[in-house]
Amino acid sequence: MEGLSGSESLWGTTLKQVYASLFALTLCACQPTTDAPTASRPAGSPPADIPPLEVVSGYYGENWNVDELWPGEYPDGFSVEGANVILPARFEPDPSGPPDLSCPLDQSATIHQWNHDRVETDDLYFIVANQTLPQRVNTETSIQVWLVDDPEQDEILDLTPGDTVTVLRYYGEGFGEMAVDGVRYAVDLTDLYTYLEVDETPLEEHLWALITCDDDTATRAWVLFSEAMNVPGIVYWSMTGYGIASDLE
């Protein structure tokens, strides 16, 4: 992951591009089984009108950050290359249990947050849940940050040895999000990590997609990227241009 450095204008311009990519898009491991239950919503499931981000957040504890959009300069995604592909899916995004429904998908469908046509027609949502870990500052520094609640507002944040920083998520192009004393900032993570104590604790990341199954009732289902990629007939998405994804031809 190559970090960005340079003038204040480069910082600001790059961050605005990252935020534009992230927030504009918000508008818009298992084999398939033959004995999976038919698509019917179980009793006790959250109402369908609860925002997807809120639904996913309900299944994760305090040491997890849950946010919209999958991370990365070129976020993950997958396409349906085979015929009669059925994904292992869930009625609810509960990572503690196995898939509880089978979800057929259109052949050639590409599930990616840049595939704007399918995002709109299938009402797709992409949510990332990743573990977080507080880290201690080991070198005094003053670092440029942007308030998450106001991306246009930047400031210089002073950090001293012993301060605690929690990296919340990665965006792309070296930028990510951190929390200091309960305040969330966007920051150049490559720069930030040079001032933090090294901690190699492995952290989990779950990439959830809320999709619409190609069945008689257009069942809404939650799919984990890692599980989808283990299904025969599913391939990693092919990029045609930055910010552009489409169904297979």
Place of tokens 């349906």: 80
pLDDT in tens, 12-31: 434 444 444 443 333 333 33
CA–CA separation, 217 and 199 (whole Å): 47
Q: Which amino acid is at 213?
A: C
pLDDT in tens, 153-206: 899 999 999 999 999 999 999 999 999 999 999 999 999 999 999 898 999 999
pLDDT in tens, 67-103: 999 999 999 999 999 999 999 999 999 999 999 999 9
Task: Tell how strand 64-68 and strand 101-104 pair up.
Answer: unpaired
66 or 1: whose pLDDT is higher? 66
Among the listed residues 236, 228, 25, the one whose alpha carbon sits nearest the alpha carbon of residue 126: 25
- DSSP single-letter state for residue 232: T
Where in the chain are the domains? 31-41+48-126+207-236, 131-193
237: tokens are 């998405």
User: From its phi and psi, is residue 91 left (phi > 0), alpha (psi between -120 and 50) or beta?
Assistant: alpha
Contact by Cβ (8 Å): 54, 157: no
The CA-based angle 248-208-89, given to 5 degrees, is 80
Q: What is the largest CA-CA distance in the chain?
A: 60
